[in-house]
Structure 1
Amino acid sequence: MSDARPDRPSSPKILSIAWGRMEIEDLGVGKDFMLHPGGGKAWDWRESGTEHSPGIQPSDVRYLIDRGAETIVLSLGMERRLQIDPATIALLERLHVGYQAAETPEAVALYNRAADTGSVGGLFHSTC
């Protein structure tokens, strides 16, 4: 039995993860993804200026929040090299959006467990 709320689409599941490759339910294969209730897209770091340091930018998580994510999973990369900009954490806290950050394989597991609720979003980096 699914925990999905009838008024909200579920978030797409991550079907597989390997170095530099992710497969996402209904979205296909790519390297990095932004996932949210009802869908997602490839995560192009250039759009927000994300780099390993200072890390995930506020606009990256804002994209997910604007699409219905009530909690967010942030992957830190396969070798934990991706940081989270302090301004991003401040935004999440100011908006009272719960988040978890973990090395990518663990982040995938956390996200997939929550995906059926329809309220989870995630940013996933499949390399370093």
Structure 2
Amino acid sequence: MSVEEHGPTPGTDVLIRKVDGHLAAVRASLRGPELELAERLAGSLRQLVVSTAQASAADRGQVRVAVHYFVLRRESRGRLLSVRSLAVAQRVVNKVALQLGRPDLMVEARRGLAPALPGGDNPTG
């Protein structure tokens, strides 16, 4: 896989806006380690989006899946984003970062949050 750093393109702008918009929404409902994890996931996703702007369609597709997992994983009882949703999004982001040769963009959980869930969902193949 060849990944080059370039400025944002129209497709990357849309994904980055989705990440930023979702992060702005969850800031109203998350605090402490949950908010910190959401912010670190958003930062990693932004970097993945930009770094794959000129990559293959398959690589860009993996990043799109990770963005959608972060943005669309809303669960349970009035909370915009649950800890479980964050853990699943974290696992997806980390898997994509590894597959794209960017282990530097993996996001680890801090104290107060459970580690990413083992097994289960496999949205990126």
Determine if the TM-score, normalized by the shorter chain, exceeds 0.5: no
Quick check: which one's helix share is greater?
Answer: 2
Between structure 1 and structure 2, the one with the greater Rg is 2
TM-score after normalising by structure 1: 0.30
Quick check: which one's strand share is greater?
Answer: 1
Higher relative contact order at CA 8 Å, sep ≥6: structure 1 or structure 2? Answer: 1
TM-score after normalising by structure 2: 0.30
